[in-house]
Structure 1
């Protein structure tokens, strides 16, 4: 072992210790290592900075932008809505569906990109279901890694091993050659995470009870809206049809406050925010707030040609991306106390409806238009999110309190959703076909999203998670340093020398273990490049089929579950899940052992020795 190798291993050991302590931050440690390697003379400055031009780094940055484009167009949250709707209140069902969805999508596109796209989705789901994000983020990452074991194109190491087989004059792997083993590992992963999630509870209460902002459900409950919410269909020949809300005076005459109108169009359903000029049509579904829950019993519905519809959940929850709520306080200098709710003119001036009133911290059971305001009252207003945000700083007579968390999920480019899907479809098609490198495919998708106005330049730069990129860039030079100093070759020679006479299954297990350990410190693609020739030469010396040995290296390269720096996928969820280095060790090491056991058993069965 030469002096340069000892120096590289020393630097690597220091980095690992600092990673475990998490002081300083991981990205800072990586940048310090990137500075230290050229100072030792082991790498040149261009070699140490080569990570900035690495295609995987460019790919990850582009995928951050694409993920934000899917968020801005509302696609990510619609997917989250589907997961929540299908899972209901069951965290178990949610975890299963999440891992299946991520693994399926990741089987045909970059797992890093899939995880980047799903992170905001999972964070939103965690808030809505009041589940700690830490219990979902690691299953998300593990599903992303397992997706690399499902198809040939799912991850670069698979293609590296495939190319090595072709270079050796052998037939490469088929598109679905990985699928039987990958499916078994996916089912194992789902079962394992259902048990291991209990180890991922947050160490503090910030994730569960520390939020200072209300949700829509909190506000609706505080103001007793659930008692008064109704969905009413306008029947054929109703006297309301073809008349505006100002003409009808439903709130004054009947105590029916129309908040919004669901209207079925030719191509898609519309949600129209109610204003005085809103004209009703036969077949419209009115989202209303009643002055009293007993109104429907007084014959008003029959008189107006309305029929109540079932309301399983609050319509504010159903339309959270368009219809919002906000609490408005009356400061001491306000001129509004003494006025009635009707005299406020919120609908005419601000295009918002007053739907709730709290006095002395108690919500009024009903809300009458002639109710006079008193100092200290707080109002709840409903309407379009843009109009709610526009209220802030608009008047000295009222103060908008903190907006609910759902305002962060508003899709400012919701109408561009089809174009965002088209951009992603183009990227996936290019990645699957191999017509262009993955990084170029992702950059083309970014440009398409920009051209279609799914995302703007400022939002694109803000979308990139720079600490994650700096961590990856800073650690990449270690791969070259270990190669130049002979560290990798030394480890491989030791393996062949010690286990050369052992049985095939023992060698398969050893190859898996060595590949997984090397993958802790260098990229899984580089690991596959180094280990694939070794696997084929071992098979040749034993006189057995090379396919099990090539497959075991590919699977082990994707089994980067043990540390947060083993894969960019793990690094991405480190911050959102508020994990420590030890969390991945505690959960990932046992799972890696299980994956190795399944692989050593199944690989010779699928690819006979």
Structure 2
């Protein structure tokens, strides 16, 4: 063991120790390592900074953007809604569909992002089905981890191992190389979680801490909106056609407050939030709030050329992603008491409609526009989520109270969902066909989403998890440093000396366990960076194919089931599931061993030694 190797190992041990302590942050530690390695003389500055030009790093960044496009267009949320509808009242069906949905979506976008999206969905379903979130949150996390075993782009460790194969002169993995093993593990995972859920809580047990926030339905009920909601179609002979709302005086003369306009345009329907300048067209469906349910009986509809339509559910629930509600309170120092709602000019100033007023915990009825406000009043405003968010913090005269739970599901580019699917399909098709390198396929997918406004530049930059990228870039030079100083050769010799006589499968099991154990203390990406060259060099020393050894590292890096800190997805569900550290150990360790046995059996069959 030479001095250079001792320096590199000392620096690596220091980094691992700081990773465990999480002080400073992992990306800062990676940057410090990137600076320290050239100072040791082991690597040159270009070698230490080479990670910034690594195609895998650019690919990971592009996949963050692709995943954000799926979120912004509401595709991920619609999958959650489908899950709720399809589960019915069966907890078993819910768990199976939940694992399949999360694993499927996580195979093409960040598993951390997928789990974050599904947490409020699962909490909502748990309340409705009277199921303890403890029985669902861990399966949710495990599904996110298993999604990393389905495709090449599902998780950064897969791409790190793929990149290491390419660097060693091999072809790397195909897009679906992981799928046969990943699907087998996914099926075993479903069966395992259906059995193991009995140790996560009793059916019908619900934690008080998981009660959801107010929903749109609850807010509407509190202000007695359902009895006043109507859908009215503008008929061909209507005098309202081609006129602006401000000119029509519908609210003051007829007590009809137009909240939004549902309009057919070409091949799709648009929901337009009503403003004073909104012009009505023949065929428009008006979503209105009536000052009194009796208005329709007074012949107003016939006079205005409006036809009432059936309203099965609240239009706030039907259009929850475009149309929101929020409570606005008047603080003690507000200058608004004494003024009428008409004088506030909410529609003209803030593009929001006042649809409710509560005083002394009672919702007032009738025409509210001439009602003078009093200190302590609470208003209910309706409009687009964008304008509701904009209202927060812009005036000391009113205070926006907590927003309803549906605000978490808002998709700012919901109308572009078909184009987001197109971008995803283009990326996957190019990757599977091999027409262009994977990194170019992902960039083309991003450009397609950008072209059709599924994403914009600001959201794209915000979507990229820069901490993960810097961590990868900072750890990549260690592989080269260990190779140049003989560290990898030393590790391979020790591994073969200890387990070489036991056969290749024993070596694969040893590599899996070593990777999984290291992954308990540092990120699975950093673990893959360190272990991939060891695995490939071990295969070279044995004269075996590098593919089974590389694959076992990738699978082991995703098998972070054993502790709540093994992976960000585990940490995400720790609070909502009300888990303890021991819960993950009790459920995760047996499943990790099951995954190891499955991998050691299947990998040599699919990737001959």
The interval holding the TM-score normalised by the smaller chain is 0.7 to 0.9
2:528 paired with 1:531: no
After superposing the two structures, state which structure 1 stretch, 247-256 or 260-269, moved more: 247-256
Q: Give the match for residue 463 of structure 2.
A: 463
Tell me, which stretches of 5 or more residues in structure 2 are unaligned? Answer: 128-132, 202-206
1:306 to 305, 308, 311: 308
Structure 2 length normalisation: TM-score?
A: 0.74
Cα deviation digits, residues 397-450 of structure 1 (max 9, x gap): 655556556557655555555554444433333322333332333334444555
Q: Give the match for residue 598 of structure 1.
A: 598
Over the aligned positions, Cα root-mean-square deviation in angstroms equals 5.2
User: Conserved in 2, the CA contact under 8 Å of 1:342 and 1:369?
Assistant: yes
Question: Distance in 1 between the 2:408 and 2:359 partners?
Answer: 28
2:48 paired with 1:48: yes
Q: Give the match for residue 29 of structure 1.
A: 29
1:513 CA drift (Å): 3.6
1:458-537 equivalences under 5 Å are 458-502=458-502, 506=506, 508-510=508-510, 512-513=512-513, 522=526, 524=528, 527-528=531-532, 530-532=534-536, 534-535=538-539
After superposing the two structures, state which structure 1 stretch, 461-470 or 596-605, moved more: 596-605
Q: Give the match for residue 100 of structure 2.
A: 100
1:379 CA drift (Å): 1.0
Change (3 A) 1:573 1:530: same
User: Conserved in 2, the CA contact under 8 Å of 1:181 and 1:602?
Assistant: yes
Cα deviation digits, residues 87-131 of structure 1 (max 9, x gap): 579887666445424544565x5xxx4436636634664686687
User: Conserved in 2, the CA contact under 8 Å of 1:228 and 1:289?
Assistant: no
Change (3 A) 1:389 1:582: closer
Question: Distance in 2 between the 1:335 and 1:382 partners?
Answer: 22
Change (3 A) 1:326 1:30: same
2:111 to 115, 118, 124: 115
Change (3 A) 1:179 1:338: closer
1:251-330 equivalences under 5 Å are 256-275=256-275, 285-291=285-291, 305-311=307-313, 314-330=314-330
2:551 paired with 1:554: yes
User: Conserved in 1, the CA contact under 8 Å of 2:152 and 2:174?
Assistant: no
Change (3 A) 1:208 1:14: farther
Question: Distance in 1 between the 2:474 and 2:355 partners?
Answer: 54
Question: Distance in 1 between the 2:408 and 2:287 partners?
Answer: 23
Question: Distance in 2 between the 1:196 and 1:45 partners?
Answer: 51
1:142 to 139, 142, 145: 145
* Secondary structure at 2:272 match in 1: strand
1:522 CA drift (Å): 4.9
* Secondary structure at 1:309 match in 2: coil
After superposing the two structures, state which structure 1 stretch, 472-481 or 298-307, moved more: 298-307
Cα deviation digits, residues 58-107 of structure 1 (max 9, x gap): 22223333333444444444455545555579887666445424544565
* Secondary structure at 2:597 match in 1: helix
Change (3 A) 1:283 1:443: closer
Structure 1 length normalisation: TM-score?
A: 0.74
Change (3 A) 1:188 1:230: farther
Q: Give the match for residue 353 of structure 1.
A: 353
Change (3 A) 1:284 1:536: same
1:378 CA drift (Å): 1.9
